[in-house]
Amino acid sequence: MTLELISQEILLGYILPNLSISDICSVSKTSTSLNQVVTKHGNLLWKKKFHQRWPKLVHILEHGGKENWLTCTRFQYHIEQQIHTSINAMIENSSIHRPPTSESMAVLNLKVPFEFLEDAVLKVANSKQQSTTSLTKTYYAKYLLRFLRCQRLDIEIQEYKENEKIGFAKGAFLVSKWQHVAENIIPQWEDVSCILEDTTTRIQNILQTRKNSKRPRRTLSEKEQTKEKVEITVHMLFQECNFHCDLLADSDKEDWNEILQAYYITEVLKNRRGKPIIIAIILDDILNRLDLKSEILSHENQFYVRVPLNKTTDTEWIFIDVSNHSVFPSRQLFPDEYPAEDHAIFFDIILPLYNIASEVHDTNFIKKEALTTISKEQLSNFHLNFSRFACCWEPDFLQPFKYAIACMTYKEHLDEARRFIPNTYENATLTLLLNQQIRHQKNMFLEDNTTKSRSEAVQYAVGMCVMVETNPQDNDMGIGIITDWDPFCTKDNVWQENIGRFKLNDPFYSVIKEDGTTAYIPQEQIIGPDLTPTITNNIKIGIDFNTFNGTYYTANKKKQEKYPEDEDFKNHFYFLLI
């Protein structure tokens, strides 16, 4: 039986829906009756075909039933062909370790909605075929997908920065689009605005309480006031992460959908699950409510919020690292725009690691001499900031760095890890193994996990906020947070000779000071507890402690295992002061 003898009902109901788009085009050229059916009933047919192949895109094109679905199908089919062309060009040019060339990224010049490009690339990236060619295409498609999404985020952040009238309504839209916390719940601007206004009021109350404190306090300069506002805001959002949670305990609330909408912003921030762009917008909004002229910056895949220390001049800034939730005065993160001044910790390690990675690519193995150029202290600092570092580089380029880290920390794997074959980082099993090694290396090599028992000589505990002599000769005082202590000084002889008059057999404490720097001081240099402590922003606080109760920090499980008696000591100590 030929297609000429088949009725239109059978063609439309059974045959055509089961043919691919390319098969329909080929067969219609050889069959007159099929060509007539396709021409007469084409729009309905092509809509079905489009829905079968691209179901997520149908709602974007539907505008009252006036669409030409044949044109839409050809349009998306053409995009898929362009995607395949771009991926093949990337494979041919081996551009995985550098930005895609203009020839391989011609698809970006297509004036089409982002969803169309994303859908076409996802089809290749999610391919289940196991041939060598298919796996290579899948690998490069995932790289292209990351590149496209990065471009998309940059466009959205630019739109937000250029249109001040959009305000946080744009942020709420981005939250609902990029960060799904509760299914089918989209936050309303009124709910989110209420939460942000409540948070701003709480920050202002803290500032006012400090101003009215009984403890003598000199008048702060404009720079110091700006720093204080920024630090309290960062602490409120990232260390407490519990504002507006009282809504969930309100028994009179019957509309749980409304409750979850109001709780949405807390969920976005909680446990660092929020997208950097969303957190940047939240910070920007609150800082503006506090009368600070903040600005969102993007660098590679990373987002920062910067605030001028002086409203009239833009010469000094304070930066908020959105990914690591910390504050630092740095400009070297943006070398194309600003002169280099101070720099974030992790830059101390980038150049040495980059040199090691370069040797890996050039010689296929890492030299033992190169490993001695990086100290354990540098490596520890690098680990504290690795997530931020990873955001600034292409993920596939990070593998040599992971090899270098494995070499420096896992002696039993040294010879094995030193041998580097250029294509081995594509092996998912080996990459997973290295990730596991890196994840556990601090516990094994960088940290002293010896349990420390208290004695009567130790008068303070980890997590306590204390007043310390910052300069004993001038009787200058400051505030610090105790992060570790030793029953006696553990520094080397050179350090001990330099400190002079202190008793080395008394307890010594590691303290984070108000300016974020750390110090190792004897007990006699601690004046006493600070009962109205100042918030100090430092990444180590988030690593060592879980919560802040207004007077002292509660250590996390790992820190409590190292100092098992300190939490009880703090509870008893502050109970006696009440």
Per-residue pLDDT of the chain (578 residues; tens, 9 = 90+): 455 555 656 666 656 666 666 666 665 556 666 666 666 666 666 666 666 667 766 666 655 455 666 667 777 777 777 788 877 777 776 544 444 555 445 555 556 667 777 778 888 877 766 565 667 777 778 777 767 766 665 565 565 555 544 444 444 444 444 343 344 444 455 556 666 777 788 888 888 887 776 555 667 788 888 888 888 888 777 655 443 333 333 334 344 344 444 444 444 444 333 456 566 777 877 888 888 888 777 554 466 788 888 877 767 788 887 766 667 665 444 434 433 322 333 334 544 554 555 454 444 444 556 656 666 555 555 554 454 444 434 444 455 455 555 544 444 344 444 443 333 333 443 344 444 444 444 344 345 567 888 988 999 999 999 988 876 666 667 888 999 999 888 876 667 766 665 677 789 999 988 777 788 888 988 988 888 776 565 656 766 777 777 788 888 888 888 999 999 899 888 877 75
- The total number of structural domains in the chain stands at 4
In-domain check, residue 41? no
User: Are 196 and 131 members of one domain?
Assistant: no
In-domain check, residue 233? yes
Sequence-separated (6 or more) residues with CB below 8 Å from residue 140: 87, 90, 91, 96
User: Are 145 and 93 members of one domain?
Assistant: yes
Strand pairing of 526-529 and 476-486?
Answer: unpaired
**How many CA atoms within 13 Å lie on the side-chain side of 353?**
26
In-domain check, residue 34? no
User: Are 267 and 362 members of one domain?
Assistant: no
User: Are 151 and 275 members of one domain?
Assistant: no
Among 446, 476, 509, residue at a domain's last position: 446
User: Are 232 and 144 members of one domain?
Assistant: no
User: What's the domain range around 229?
Assistant: 167-328
User: Are 122 and 252 members of one domain?
Assistant: no
In-domain check, residue 373? yes
- pTM (global) more than 0.85: no
What does the alpha-carbon distance between residue 492 and residue 495 come to, in Å, rounded to a whole number? 6
User: Are 147 and 180 members of one domain?
Assistant: no
User: Are 438 and 471 members of one domain?
Assistant: no
In-domain check, residue 339? no
In-domain check, residue 49? no
On whether the CB atoms of residues 547 and 534 are closer than 8 A, the answer is no
Among 162, 183, 212, residue at a domain's last position: 162
In-domain check, residue 355? yes
User: Are 493 and 549 members of one domain?
Assistant: yes
User: Are 396 and 525 members of one domain?
Assistant: no
- Burial zone of 552 (CB within 10 Å; 0-12 exposed, 13-18 middle, 19+ buried): buried
User: Are 488 and 404 members of one domain?
Assistant: no
In-domain check, residue 51? no
Of the candidates 533, 527, 516, which has an alpha carbon nearest to the alpha carbon of residue 477?
Answer: 527
Helices (H) and strands (E) in the chain, counts: 24, 11
User: Are 423 and 439 members of one domain?
Assistant: yes
Among 128, 162, 196, residue at a domain's last position: 162
